[in-house]
Amino acid sequence: MHPLLSLSVFWLLPLALMLEEDSPLGCDPRKSVPYHRDNAHLFQEEGVFNYSTMLLREDLNVLVLGAREALYALDLNDISKKLASVKWEVTEQQKAECKNKGKDPETECKNYIRILHKMEDNRMYVCGTNAFDPECNYMSYADGKLTLESKGEDGKGKCPFDPFQRYASIMVDNNLYSATSMNFLGSEPILMRSSPVSIRTEFKSSWLNEPSFVSMAQMPEGDKSEEGDDDKVYLFFSETAVECDCYNKLVVSRVARVCKGDLGGQRTLQKKWTSFLKARLDCPVLESQLPYIIQDTYRLCDPQQHWKTCLFYAVFTPQSDTSDLSAVCVYQVSDISRVFAEGKYKTPVPVETSFVKWVMYSGDVPVPRPGACINNEAREAGITQTLDLPDRTLQFIKDRPLMDQAIQPVGEKPVLVRRGATFTRIIVNQVQAADGEKYNVMFIGTEEGSMLKAVNYDGEMFIIEEIQLFQPPEPIKILKFSNVTDQLYAGSENGAAQIPLASCARSLSCMDCVLARDPYCGWDKVVGKCIALSNSQRELIQSVKEGDASLCPDAEHVKPTNQSIWPGGNLKLSCPSPSNLAKTSWERDNRPLTPSARLQPLQDGLLILNASDSDGGRYRCVSVERSKTAEYATTVADYQVRIAGSGRGGQILFPQPRTGGPSVAGLQAVVGLLVVSLLVLLAWNFYKGHLPLPWSCGKKSEQSQESHEEGGVHSSVPSQEPPKPAQVEDKPLMSGRDNGSSNNHSRGEAAFSAAGGENDAPELNLTSLQYIDDESEI
Query: Nearest 5°: phi and psi at 751?
Result: -60, -40
Q: How would you class 603 by CB atoms within 10 Å of its CB: exposed for 0-12, middle for 13-18, buried for 19 or more?
A: exposed
Name residue 447's amino acid: E
CA dihedral (655, 661, 664, 666) positive or negative: negative
Return d(Cα 246, Cα 241) in angstroms, integer.
10
Strand order in the sheet with 582-588: 561-565, 631-643, 617-626, 582-588, 591-592
Q: Which residues pair with 32 in a beta bridge?
A: 466
Return d(Cα 508, Cα 556) in angstroms, integer.
12
Return d(Cα 326, Cα 324) in angstroms, integer.
7
Q: Which residues pair with 178 in a beta bridge?
A: 169, 192
Give 3-state DSSP helix, strand, coil % of the chain, rounded to 5.
20, 35, 45
Task: Give a three-class secondary structure readout of 91-148.
Answer: CHHHHHHHHHCCCCCCCCCCCEEEEEEECCCCCEEEEECCCCCCEEEEEEEECCEEEE
What pLDDT does 549 receive?
93
What pLDDT does 289 receive?
81
What pLDDT does 690 receive?
66
Return d(Cα 501, Cα 504) in angstroms, integer.
9
CA dihedral (327, 331, 337, 339) positive or negative: negative
Domain boundaries, the chain: 45-164, 499-549, 561-650, 684-777
pLDDT digits (tens, 9 = 90+) for 324-357: 899 999 999 999 999 999 999 999 988 776 678 8
Of the candidate CATH numbers 1.10.10.10, 2.130.10.10, 3.40.50.10480, 1.10.460.10, the domain formed by 45-164 belongs to 2.130.10.10
Decide if 625 contacts 632 (C-beta within 8 A).
yes
Task: Give a three-class secondary structure readout of 612-672.
Answer: CHHHCEEEEEEEEEECCCCEEEEEEEEEEEEECCECHHHCECCCCCCCCCHHHHHHHHHHH
What pLDDT does 682 receive?
78
What pLDDT does 383 receive?
93
Q: What is the DSSP letter of 378?
A: H
Report the predicted TM-score, pTM, of the whole model to 2 decimal places. 0.79
Return d(Cα 43, Cα 81) in angstroms, integer.
8
pLDDT along the chain (778 residues), means of 10: 39 37 62 89 95 96 97 97 96 95 94 96 96 96 92 91 96 95 92 90 94 96 88 96 84 96 94 96 86 96 89 94 89 95 92 80 93 93 93 95 96 91 95 94 96 92 94 95 94 96 92 95 94 90 94 87 92 92 93 92 93 92 92 93 66 46 62 82 74 49 42 39 38 37 39 38 38 38
Query: Nearest 5°: phi and psi at 190?
Result: -145, 155
Return d(Cα 63, Cα 74) in angstroms, integer.
5
Q: How many CA atoms lie within 13 A of 468 on its CB side?
A: 12
pLDDT digits (tens, 9 = 90+) for 259-287: 999 999 999 999 999 999 999 999 998 87
What pLDDT does 4 receive?
41
Of the candidate CATH numbers 3.40.50.2020, 3.30.450.260, 2.60.40.10, 3.40.50.11260, the domain formed by 561-650 belongs to 2.60.40.10
Return d(Cα 539, Cα 520) in angstroms, integer.
13
Return d(Cα 192, Cα 198) in angstroms, integer.
7
Return d(Cα 70, Cα 46) in angstroms, integer.
12
Superfamily for domain range 499-549: ligand-binding face of the semaphorins, domain 2 (3.30.1680.10)
Decide if 491 contacts 79 (C-beta within 8 A).
no
- Of the candidates 487, 395, 494, the residue with the CA atom closest to the CA atom of residue 443: 487
Name residue 700's amino acid: K
**Host H or E run for residue 773:** none
